[in-house]
Amino acid sequence: MRRARHPAIRLVIRLVIGLAAAAASAVHADVLVRDVTGAEVRLPAPARRVVSLAPYLTENLFAIGAGGRIVGTVEYANHPEAAKRLPRVGAYENLDAEAVVALKPDLVVAWKSGNPPAVLARLRALGIPVWIDEPGRIEDVAGTLERLGALTGADRDARTAAEAYRRRLADLRARYSARPTVRTFYQVWDRPLMTVGGPQIISDVIRLCGGANVFAAQAALAPTGWTAGGAGSASPPWPATTYSSSPPTCCSDIRRACWTGRNACAGTWRRRGREGRPNPDGVPAGDHAIATARRD
């Protein structure tokens, strides 16, 4: 009888060892995530030292609970409060590659239309994994959260944040689908006076929240074909509610532009520009702006 038990015991031991090996293999398996350019970014393990090259990516990392893994970011990455204490590696469009390298990141997360391609190529040439993102529509933000979660090992919190974001979008669509739209002009900057075109994600936020971007027909991401000092053939079709993400002095310029455009603006509101960032807080900020316009 004792001999009969030995093969069974040996089998159990082999099974336990096999399961333990499989679990260890799973823990140490490579992380593989494709970016917006189609490139596959492979990491030997979830990233522990991340440099974020866009304010919205910094906010998204904090949103999924991976803010503690950020070792550097760019100017204007000022939310949440903890982001203000992070080392800076320049502005998103004017990066200091040496400062990035000095932080010894095991991952750089980058913004396709905002960061200089030459700098990203140089970082890759130095062996630093670079994952590039570009949410073209507000629906894409949920996917960005999930992919950042995969890269940093914050999968569970990322899925929770993504699901909450998708529910928020569905709620807003249901709320505004039957309401009249609010014609909206969004000012990015004053000199040159700059707005957002149809392909820009801010235009998507405006539409979702019940607005209609008066420059939605423009193919450029940031049209600048007119000035605050005089309305030419490219002047916006006023009247429209106006919204500014630029410094306070810009608001007087935008009101003047409205008047030179044959009619007065319905009103001007400003909120530090977070409604324009593709992150979970961007849509509520846009909703606040359009709701304010409706109450005016």
Nearest by Cα to 54 from 91, 79, 86, 82: 91
* Residues 53-76: b if buried by 16+ CB within 10 A, e if exposed: bbbbbbbbbbbbbbbebbbbbbeb
User: Which is higher by pLDDT, 148 or 266?
Assistant: 148
Residue where one domain finishes, among candidates 166, 198, 230? 166
pTM as predicted: 0.74
Q: Is the pLDDT of residue 223 over 50?
A: yes
Alpha-carbon distance of 177 to 24, in angstroms, equals: 50
Joined together, the tokens standing for residue 188 give 């990015």
Q: Is the pLDDT of residue 42 over 60?
A: yes
Question: Residue 14's beta-bridge partner residues?
Answer: none
Q: What is the CATH number of the domain that holds 192?
A: 3.40.50.1980
User: 75 with 162, same domain?
Assistant: yes
Report for 154-163, 176-185, 190-199: range of highest mean pLDDT: 154-163
pLDDT category, 286, cuts 50, 70, 90?
Answer: low
Least confident range from 22-26, 50-54, 143-147: namely: 22-26
Residue where one domain finishes, among candidates 166, 191, 212? 166
Nearest by Cα to 278 from 35, 49, 52, 54: 54
Joined together, the tokens standing for residue 137 give 């529509």
- Tell me which residue range forms the domain holding 281: 179-295
Q: What is the pLDDT of residue 196?
A: 85
